[in-house]
């Protein structure tokens, strides 16, 4: 019953997800550099990343499991930023390079319950 290195990761979240999946499967695992890597995250590459250690008899199953699931792309990888984020970024870039504030949005967006409703912020709606 010897501990052996099963995998190395550079990302904290990826390491914790892999370790929790292994633990949920009933496989004992130990994460080396977990606390040190979170405290000194800028030095994580120098520490050698996060290392997952498992029992020697579970090594083949763990490597097969991690190898099958590590290359899966996230379903969030194809989401573009919203228009507000892009407008804010463009306004910031223009402000830095031109030295002036360039507003890209003029006032708040109208509040409507649905497309058929009139603008709730309009003076005629507020007066009634």
Coil, strand or helix at 74:
coil
User: How many Cβ atoms from other residues are within 10 Å of residue 22's Cβ?
Assistant: 21
Could you tell me the pTM of the whole model? 0.55
How do residues 31-84 score in pLDDT, each as one tens digit?
998 888 778 877 777 778 889 999 999 999 999 998 888 766 555 445 555 666
Q: pLDDT value at position 95?
A: 80
Q: pLDDT value at position 80?
A: 56
Coil, strand or helix at 36:
helix
How do residues 77-118 score in pLDDT, each as one tens digit?
455 556 667 777 777 888 888 877 766 655 555 555 556 655
What's the full length of the chain, in residues?
Answer: 128
Stretch 11-40: mean pLDDT: 90
Nearest residue to 37 (alpha-carbon basis) of 51, 56, 24, 26:
51
Q: How far apart are CA 54 and CA 35, in angstroms?
A: 18
């Amino acid at each position: 019953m010897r501990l052996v290195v099963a995998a190395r990761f550079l990302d904290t979240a990826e390491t914790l997800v892999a370790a929790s999946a292994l633990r949920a499967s009933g496989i004992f695992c130990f994460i080396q550099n977990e606390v040190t890597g979170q405290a000194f995250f800028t030095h994580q590459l120098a520490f050698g990343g996060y290392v997952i250690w498992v029992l020697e008899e579970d090594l083949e199953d763990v490597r097969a499991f991690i190898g099958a699931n590590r290359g899966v792309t996230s379903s969030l990888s194809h989401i573009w930023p919203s228009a507000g984020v892009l407008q804010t970024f463009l306004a910031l870039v223009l402000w830095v390079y031109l030295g002036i504030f360039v507003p890209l949005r003029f006032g708040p967006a109208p509040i409507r319950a649905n497309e058929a409703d009139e603008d709730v912020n309009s003076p005629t709606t507020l007066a009634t």
